[in-house]
Structure formats: C-alpha cells, structure tokens
C-alpha cells in the first residue's frame, strides 16, 4: 500500500511530498522507479538478463553514465559477495544468490526509501549481517530510509525502530536506545510477551 500499488480505504499515502491518490498510474510508476527500491520475497528478477544487468536495470532506465553504473555495481556486488556471478544468468544461480541480486537491484539507484519483504530470508547469518550493515551504511551516508518486514530478530536488530503487528493491528513498538545486542534482547522479550506467534511480524 505504501508503494502506491494498492489504495487505502481511508487516509492518504504521502511520500516525498507526493500524494499518491493524485498521481496517474504512469506518474506512480515513474515515482517508484526514481524514489523507491523494492526487495520482493519472490525476487522478481528478469531471466532474460544477466545478474549484472538485473542489478543495473534501474540505472539503465535512468540513463546513468557507464562509469557510475560500474562504480555502484562493483561496490554493491562486493558487499553482497556476488562479483563472480556478474555474467551468469538468473536460472544458473541459487535462491540465496537470487535474493542478493534482488537486494543489489534495490540498492543500486540509492533511492529515498527501500521497501523489503523478508529481505534476508534466503541468506545465511554472515551474509545477513553484511547486507544489513550495507543498508545501515547507506542510511547513514545517503539518508535512504528502509522499511522492512521480517520474522528474524537478528535482521530487525539492525533497524532503529521495530513495530510489532499482531492480528492485523499494531501491538508494540521498540526503539533502539543501546547496543545491538541489547536491542535484539528487547526485541525477543517483546515478541515473547506477545506470545511469540509465527504471524507476529517485525
């Protein structure tokens, strides 16, 4: 809904001063491409393109210079550990590798906000940490905001603010006020206090 794909029953979605209900579908698509990055649970990668081409697609659509494309790709591919996959096809790589490509594509354009649906769901703990630190660095350096949905307390602990949803309602909010370890413990305590159900999202 926050991306403008669905329309709220009540109220307005305003991002970057733009009220989505006042935009045409074409304007919404342009706004999403320029200002938003998205990480989908099912990847939504193009099998007709290579790994590198999938990641660079937002920059290609924006007609960014080749040197900018290469610099950003090299930096992000290094963080995600996919440099050697650059020329491989999407059907040639694993699910976890596809997730990294999807994350790279969302980061490449350095948008204002990135929406992530279980962005680290297919990654091991080390790569999860690397990816989340990359997101944190971009947040601090470039002011990119991240809005993530996750069931993983470790992933959530890299955020500054965690909202818990239960039965479709906002149940609790936890803000980071100390170390990552303490924040992670606060997240677990809150989850346990809510009953720890599998449908309690961060």
Which structural domains are found in the chain, ordered by start?
23-149 (3.40.50.300), 152-202 (no CATH)
**C-alpha torsion angle, residues 85, 89, 95, 101 (rounded to 10):** 60
pLDDT at 200: 55
Whole-number Å distance between alpha carbons of 110 and 143 = 9
Terminal alpha carbon distance of the chain: 17
3-class DSSP state for residue 188? helix
| Residues in the chain with pLDDT values less than 70 | 196-202
Whole-number Å distance between alpha carbons of 98 and 24 = 32
Could you tell me the two tokens for 197?
Answer: 């159900």
pLDDT at 173: 95
For 85, list phi and psi in degrees, rounded to 5.
-95, 0
**Adjacent-strand bridge partners of 15:** 18
Surface-to-core class of residue 42, CB atoms within 10 Å of its CB (0-12 exposed, 13-18 middle, 19+ buried): exposed
Whole-number Å distance between alpha carbons of 26 and 28 = 5
pLDDT at 178: 82
């Amino acid at each position: 809904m926050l991306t403008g794909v669905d329309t709220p029953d009540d109220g307005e979605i305003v991002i970057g001063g733009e009220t989505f209900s006042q935009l045409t579908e074409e304007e919404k698509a342009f706004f999403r491409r320029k200002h938003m990055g998205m990480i989908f649970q099912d990847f939504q990668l193009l099998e007709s393109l290579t790994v590198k081409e999938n990641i660079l697609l937002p920059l290609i659509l924006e007609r960014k210079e080749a040197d900018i494309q290469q610099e950003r790709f090299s930096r992000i591919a290094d963080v995600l550990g996919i440099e050697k996959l650059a020329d491989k096809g999407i059907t040639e790589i694993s699910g976890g590798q596809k997730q990294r490509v999807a994350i790279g594509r969302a980061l490449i354009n350095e948008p204002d906000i990135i929406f992530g649906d279980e962005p680290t769901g297919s990654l091991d703990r080390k790569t999860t940490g690397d990816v989340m630190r990359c997101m944190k660095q971009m947040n601090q350096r470039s002011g990119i905001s991240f809005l993530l949905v996750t069931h993983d307390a470790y992933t959530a602990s890299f955020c500054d603010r965690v909202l818990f949803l239960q039965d479709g309602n906002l149940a609790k909010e936890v803000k980071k006020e100390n170390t990552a370890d303490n924040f992670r413990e606060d997240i677990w305590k809150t989850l346990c206090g809510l009953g720890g159900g599998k449908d309690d999202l961060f």
